[in-house]
């Protein structure tokens, strides 16, 4: 299946000031050690991904100043927050961060309006960079102001918590599995608002998650943590393709590619997407979106078959001209990296098919993409 279609911002984020988050943390807990050295983009969403116990939350606590490593360094877009060598350390209340937890942690005795006011009052009026009206509109919570937390749904509570964090005018937003406590319906309610924050605010976000779908939908940059160490760090699309990482070898291996709406067939409800550097278009069952609108598409490796020639009379909507960029044997199967214009796909085929097609680097093939499932944002 061509996995899930996501609305995206019109253009990738540009750098702020020196556009870099530099972090080095060395800390030891009983039975666990954290040793990180990170250089992250100073804008957009960086996902911290890994299994339970990999160090994701410990990393966020170091960013927040809740844990103080003996060896630590943190510079956020040109501002030095921590340097153990010189003794520099901003306490948590001095750091311009917003922190969103799994649970909303709203004050139960305060209305939504007063919960939001609590966040806003932490910042002097002259230093506020996010207005109340802007936060209300971004999170879609204008109609909730008079409500008490107990009367809100889980998704509504989490949107209020995110708005409260934004009203502290943070220079860095930390989100620790903010959707983990929500059921699927509530997650789908909140995700579009997270995308809006990504599109419309310049605040860099560190987003902790163990959910691949959330990461693929929201992240620009991906950090894979294992046992308190960084196994990989890089742009999302490139990191998912790396053969030395578990993503590519997994049964759900997938590639993320960007497209742009170039048309819509109203009779068949098919959305047409152009792809950078490729004459091919993707056609997906979907309602109309504005022309030029940027989207993100996930395509699973198992949902691509390959042919030496363009199939005729096929029920498949998408037949894409690709070039073999690399391949790797995986037991009885072979994982191929396929160049599609300026982007890449993954395809998993049997070793038998690999030999029958005489696959080699640089070979031109046709990728046949199977049935489509969509997730609108």
- What's the total number of domains in the chain? 2
Q: Is residue 248 part of a domain?
A: no
Centroid of chain to Cα 40: 14
Per-residue pLDDT averaged across 268-283, rounded? 91
Q: Does residue 78 fall inside a structural domain?
A: yes
Task: State whether 63 and 175 are in the same domain.
Answer: yes
What residues make up the domain containing 352?
254-369
Single residue among 236, 266, 293 that ends a domain in this structure:
236
The CATH number that applies at residue 341 is: 2.40.50.100
Cα–Cα dist 265/145, whole Å: 41
Mean pLDDT of the chain: 89
pLDDT surpasses 70 at 374: no
Q: Which of 353, 374, 377 is nearest to 4 (CA)?
A: 374
The stretches of the chain forming alpha helices (DSSP H) are 56-64, 112-120, 132-139, 154-166, 184-200, 212-218, 236-241, 246-249, 351-356
pTM, entire model: 0.88
Indicate the DSSP class of residue 12: P
DSSP state of 64: H
Length of the chain: 377
Residues 231 and 266 grouped into a single domain = no
pLDDT in tens, 72-105: 999 999 999 999 999 999 999 999 999 999 999 9
Q: Where a domain ends, among 236, 263, 292?
A: 236
Residue 195 phi/psi, 5-degree rounding, is -65, -40
Domain end call among 204, 236, 268: 236
Eight-state DSSP code of residue 312? S
Do 88 and 187 share a domain, yes or no?
Answer: yes
Q: What percent of the chain has pLDDT over 70?
A: 93
Q: Is the pLDDT of residue 312 over 90?
A: no
Confidence of residue 17 (pLDDT cuts 50, 70, 90): very low
**For range 236-264, the mean pLDDT:** 89
Question: pLDDT > 90: what percent of the chain?
Answer: 68
Q: How many whole angstroms separate alpha carbon 130 and alpha carbon 41? A: 21
Q: Count of CB atoms within 10 A of residue 220's CB?
A: 20
Q: Does residue 4 sit within a domain?
A: no
10 band by pLDDT with thresholds 50, 70 and 90? very low
Mean pLDDT within 123-142:
87
- Strand 364-369 relative to strand 318-330: parallel, antiparallel, unpaired? antiparallel
Flag whether pLDDT at 250 surpasses 90: no
Please check whether residues 176 and 317 belong to one and the same domain: no
Domain assignment of residue 244, yes or no: no
């Amino acid at each position: 299946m061509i996995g899930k279609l996501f609305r995206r911002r019109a253009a990738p984020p540009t750098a702020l000031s020196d556009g870099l988050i530099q972090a080095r943390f060395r800390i030891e807990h009983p039975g666990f050690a954290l040793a990180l050295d990170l250089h992250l983009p100073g804008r957009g969403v960086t996902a911290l991904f890994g299994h339970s116990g990999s160090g994701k939350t410990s990393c966020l606590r170091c960013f927040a100043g809740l844990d103080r490593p003996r060896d630590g360094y943190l510079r956020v877009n040109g501002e030095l927050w921590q340097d153990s060598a010189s003794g520099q350390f901003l306490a948590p209340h001095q750091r311009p961060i917003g922190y969103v937890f799994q649970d909303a942690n709203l004050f139960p005795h305060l209305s939504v309006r007063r919960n939001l006011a609590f966040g806003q009052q932490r910042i002097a009026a002259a230093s506020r960079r996010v207005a109340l009206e802007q936060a209300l509109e971004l999170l879609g919570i204008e109609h909730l102001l008079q409500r008490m937390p107990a009367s809100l749904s889980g998704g509504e509570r989490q949107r209020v918590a995110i708005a409260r964090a934004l009203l502290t005018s943070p220079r860095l937003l930390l989100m620790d599995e903010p959707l983990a406590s929500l059921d699927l319906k509530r997650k789908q309610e909140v995700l579009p608002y997270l995308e809006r924050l990504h599109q419309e605010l310049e605040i860099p976000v560190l987003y902790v998650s163990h959910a691949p779908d959330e990461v693929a939908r929201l992240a620009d940059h991906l950090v894979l943590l294992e046992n308190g160490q960084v196994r990989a760090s890089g742009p999302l699309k490139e990191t998912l393709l790396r053969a030395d990482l578990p993503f590519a070898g997994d049964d759900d291996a997938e590639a993320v590619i960007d497209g742009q709406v170039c048309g819509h067939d109203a009779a068949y409800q098919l959305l047409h997407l152009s792809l950078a550097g490729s004459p091919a278009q993707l056609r997906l069952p979907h309602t109309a979106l504005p022309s030029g609108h940027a989207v993100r598409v996930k395509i699973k490796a198992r949902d691509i078959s390959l042919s030496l020639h363009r199939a005729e009379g096929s029920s498949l909507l998408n037949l894409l001209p690709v070039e073999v960029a690399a391949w790797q044997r995986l037991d009885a199967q072979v994982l191929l990296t396929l160049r599609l214009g300026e982007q890449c796909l993954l395809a998993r085929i049997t070793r038998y098919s690999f030999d029958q097609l005489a696959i080699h680097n640089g070979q031109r093939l046709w990728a046949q993409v199977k049935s489509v499932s969509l997730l609108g944002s």
